[in-house]
Amino acid sequence: MRYDTIMATKISTIVDEKVWEEFKKLAQEGHQNIGGLLSEALSDFLRKKQLRPDVVEIMEKSMSENVKLGKLLAK
Protein backbone atom coordinates (compact mmCIF):
# COMPACT_ATOMS: atom_id res chain seq x y z
CA MET A 1 0.00 0.00 0.00
CA ARG A 2 1.39 3.39 -0.96
CA TYR A 3 0.67 6.27 1.37
CA ASP A 4 1.44 8.93 -1.24
CA THR A 5 -1.58 7.84 -3.30
CA ILE A 6 -4.17 7.57 -0.50
CA MET A 7 -5.47 9.70 2.31
CA ALA A 8 -4.22 8.47 5.66
CA THR A 9 -5.23 9.04 9.27
CA LYS A 10 -2.88 8.85 12.21
CA ILE A 11 -4.29 6.82 15.11
CA SER A 12 -3.34 6.08 18.68
CA THR A 13 -4.63 3.13 20.67
CA ILE A 14 -3.70 0.60 23.32
CA VAL A 15 -3.04 -2.98 22.22
CA ASP A 16 -2.09 -6.07 24.17
CA GLU A 17 1.73 -6.10 24.29
CA LYS A 18 2.08 -9.72 23.15
CA VAL A 19 -0.26 -9.14 20.20
CA TRP A 20 1.64 -5.99 19.23
CA GLU A 21 5.01 -7.77 19.36
CA GLU A 22 3.67 -10.57 17.14
CA PHE A 23 2.22 -7.98 14.76
CA LYS A 24 5.54 -6.14 14.50
CA LYS A 25 7.34 -9.45 13.96
CA LEU A 26 4.93 -10.34 11.15
CA ALA A 27 5.50 -6.96 9.49
CA GLN A 28 9.26 -7.37 9.74
CA GLU A 29 9.20 -10.93 8.39
CA GLY A 30 7.01 -9.81 5.47
CA HIS A 31 9.16 -6.75 4.78
CA GLN A 32 6.12 -4.51 5.30
CA ASN A 33 5.74 -1.36 7.31
CA ILE A 34 3.47 -1.38 10.37
CA GLY A 35 1.00 1.11 8.87
CA GLY A 36 0.54 -0.88 5.68
CA LEU A 37 0.07 -4.15 7.53
CA LEU A 38 -2.34 -2.54 10.00
CA SER A 39 -4.40 -1.06 7.14
CA GLU A 40 -4.52 -4.47 5.49
CA ALA A 41 -5.61 -6.12 8.76
CA LEU A 42 -8.34 -3.53 9.34
CA SER A 43 -9.61 -3.91 5.77
CA ASP A 44 -9.77 -7.69 6.16
CA PHE A 45 -11.59 -7.31 9.48
CA LEU A 46 -14.17 -4.96 7.94
CA ARG A 47 -14.80 -7.30 4.99
CA LYS A 48 -15.31 -10.15 7.43
CA LYS A 49 -17.69 -8.25 9.73
CA GLN A 50 -19.78 -6.25 7.28
CA LEU A 51 -22.72 -7.77 5.45
CA ARG A 52 -22.81 -6.81 1.82
CA PRO A 53 -26.02 -5.01 0.75
CA ASP A 54 -26.88 -7.72 -1.79
CA VAL A 55 -26.62 -10.41 0.89
CA VAL A 56 -28.92 -8.43 3.20
CA GLU A 57 -31.42 -7.96 0.35
CA ILE A 58 -31.44 -11.69 -0.45
CA MET A 59 -31.87 -12.58 3.23
CA GLU A 60 -34.77 -10.15 3.64
CA LYS A 61 -36.46 -11.48 0.49
CA SER A 62 -36.06 -15.07 1.67
CA MET A 63 -37.45 -14.22 5.11
CA SER A 64 -40.51 -12.49 3.64
CA GLU A 65 -41.14 -15.43 1.28
CA ASN A 66 -40.86 -17.95 4.13
CA VAL A 67 -42.78 -16.34 6.99
CA LYS A 68 -44.56 -19.62 7.87
CA LEU A 69 -41.31 -21.52 8.00
CA GLY A 70 -39.72 -18.79 10.13
CA LYS A 71 -42.55 -18.96 12.67
CA LEU A 72 -42.31 -22.75 12.75
CA LEU A 73 -38.55 -22.65 13.32
CA ALA A 74 -38.95 -20.03 16.06
CA LYS A 75 -41.08 -22.44 18.13
Domain borders along the chain are 17-74
What pLDDT digit, counting tens, does each position of 15-71 carry? 999 999 999 999 999 999 999 999 999 999 998 888 777 877 888 888 888 888 878
pLDDT for 4: 55
CA angle at 45 for the pair 22 and 33, rounded to the nearest 5°: 45
Distance of CA 10 to the CA centre of its chain: 19
pLDDT band at 74 (very low <50, low <70, confident <90, very high): confident
